[in-house]
Structure 1
Amino acid sequence: MKIFIDDVYYAVESEGIGEPLICLHGFTGDGSTWDDLKHQLSRDFRVITIDCLGHGNSDIPNDFHRYSIEKCAHDLNRILEELQLDSVNVLGYSMGGRLALTFAVLFPDKVKRLVLESSSPGLKTKAEQKSRKIADEKLCQILLEEGIEAFVDYWENIALFSSQKKLPAEKRQKIRDQRLNCDPLGLANSLRGMGTGAQPSWWDSLDNLQMPVLLLAGELDEKFCLLNEEMKNRLPNAVFHKISQCGHALHVEHSTKFGKMVEEFLLTT
């Protein structure tokens, strides 16, 4: 279905019954990222997937300011209103995790439980943010000047995704094909509007989040393991699980184990 919010359409899919679980994908992804999880959880939960702006079948605004992570969190709140949902469980991966956390900070009463996969609260200092914006702008130039195939060739070979090279060839090709379907302008505007360098830092807001939080990271993703350890120490009601022999995209590399951990958390907290 398409839901119209503040001059843009969002692509939203829903499957299953029970407590609602909002799933937010990462950069270059879309709602199909969660197909395996929907298969696992839709017996007990209403799994709702949303294509972020610039991704999948959602709109691609020309103005990158429309993609700001705070505006997108307000869009998410409006989507819940359209779906007549007062409160939900929220799961976010990487970029989607930053959006999920932003939503929890801005609308804490709307979040029953929060699951963050390979996510962060953003960068702590203005200097770090400035440096990240410069790096992201270089990615934007690849997207807009060289095209989506050149960008995907680069993106799938960065260190963050090195562990995915161990996946079966068919699964790797499926991920590549999905990325190649992305729109270059949508990805560039997403980086400029809601990239890690563009978003506010939420580190000082973690103390205020009272909902149960599940933090997940792969042991091969050392940077995000360290980030999540620090996040766990700041969040009042959080647990952190490190998944062995896994990198950044846990739900792709160990989908069954990932689904079981999410399901157990949602059913027991």
Structure 2
Amino acid sequence: MRCSSPRRKSVFSHGPFRVPYRVYGEGEDIICLNGIQQSMAMWFSFVQHFEKKYRITLFDFPYQGNNNNNNGSLNLSLDEQVSILKSLIEELGIEKSTICSASWGGVVALLFAVHFPDFVDRLILASIGMRPNAFMKDTILEGINADESDRERMAKIIINRFGGNLPEKIKLQITKQFKSMSGKRLKAFCEHGLSIVSAGPLNARVPLSQVEKNTVIIYGENDKIIDYADVEDLAFRMSDCTIKTIPSVGHFLHLEDKSIFGVYEEILEQNRIRDSISF
């Protein structure tokens, strides 16, 4: 089943970058943030499940998905990503939203919540912790040291290391993405991987004690690249954060098992009840 046609589909400019976005459904606002080298397509099944209750905005940061028509640096900083998210919200006139994120997108969401709390209702962060574990670091280094011309092997390193539970269709998409990646984009991907390895814990990038919004972290118990202790450490450093641990899934959560949308539904409904009581 495909998600419906978007109510709005357009592109806005942010400095040298062009940012494509799509808006689905009607209701309270949800903005979805992709992980590294992911695209808005990863959220289509989410849209299918929730577009009847919520207005959902998907977008690709520069050099995500098919968003290659840009003149800016491929090495997009965290602050630039936060600024692009702010521009998107202004473009759409969104007053306040729930931000749902995957992996690196959660880092963007947290820093955005620090800088622009008035635009954030709550955060639902999938697959995020204080730091990548040793297994993740080894995977990044193995991928970087692989022969650049052997893109299929680079893709297989990622798939075999922590994407084993993904459907075959998505595994093929990952392989295709690596094969079609330009040399410059591949270099930027590798440099970002190195920055993750060398940057230290998340609180070196984000002042976590300043995140005051209600936050839920969704963690797959079979996540091979984030240790649960580091998820607990992250939650402990914020004033209003809980963890939902999902059995039998790994880092890619709803891409591995769509039943996880029931967990999202529970979180969103609890927040709606909480908001109705607070008035």
Which TM-score band applies after superposition, normalised by the shorter structure? 0.7 to 0.9
User: Equivalent of 1:244, from 244, 247, 259?
Assistant: 247
Q: Tell me which amino acid in the other structure corresponds to 1:254.
A: D
Match of 1:218 in 2: 220
Match of 2:265 in 1: 263
The 5-angstrom pairing of residues 1-269 of structure 1 reads 1-59=10-68, 60-61=70-71, 63-65=73-75, 67-121=76-130, 139=143, 142=146, 145-146=148-149, 148-158=151-161, 160-164=162-166, 167=167, 169-177=168-176, 180-192=179-191, 195-197=195-197, 202-203=202-203, 205-221=207-223, 223-255=226-258, 257-269=259-271
- Tell me, in whole angstroms, the C-alpha distance in 2 between the residues paired with 1:49 and 1:147: 32
- Tell me, in whole angstroms, the C-alpha distance in 2 between the residues paired with 1:242 and 1:55: 28
Secondary structure, aligned partner of 2:196? coil
- Tell me, in whole angstroms, the C-alpha distance in 2 between the residues paired with 1:10 and 1:147: 30
- Tell me, in whole angstroms, the C-alpha distance in 2 between the residues paired with 1:18 and 1:201: 36
Deviation of 1:173 after TM superposition, in Å, equals 3.2
Match of 2:276 in 1: none
Equivalent residues, number: 256
Deviation of 1:94 after TM superposition, in Å, equals 0.9
Whether contact under 8 Å (1:225, 1:242) holds in the other structure is no
Superposition TM-score, scaled by structure 1 size: 0.82
Deviation of 1:152 after TM superposition, in Å, equals 1.4
4+ runs deviating over 6 angstroms = none
Larger Rg: 2
CA spacing shift, 1:197–1:175, aligned 2, 3 Å? closer
1:135-190 deviation line (CA, Å, top 9, x unaligned): 857745658x32643421322222x22343xx4x3454355445555545334324
1:29-49 deviation line (CA, Å, top 9, x unaligned): 100001110000111111111
CA spacing shift, 1:37–1:9, aligned 2, 3 Å? same
Higher helix content, 1 or 2: 1
Q: Which has the higher contact order (CA 8 A, sep 6+)?
A: 1
Superposition TM-score, scaled by structure 2 size: 0.79
- Tell me, in whole angstroms, the C-alpha distance in 2 between the residues paired with 1:208 and 1:70: 16
Give the alignment's Cα RMSD to 1 decimal.
3.0
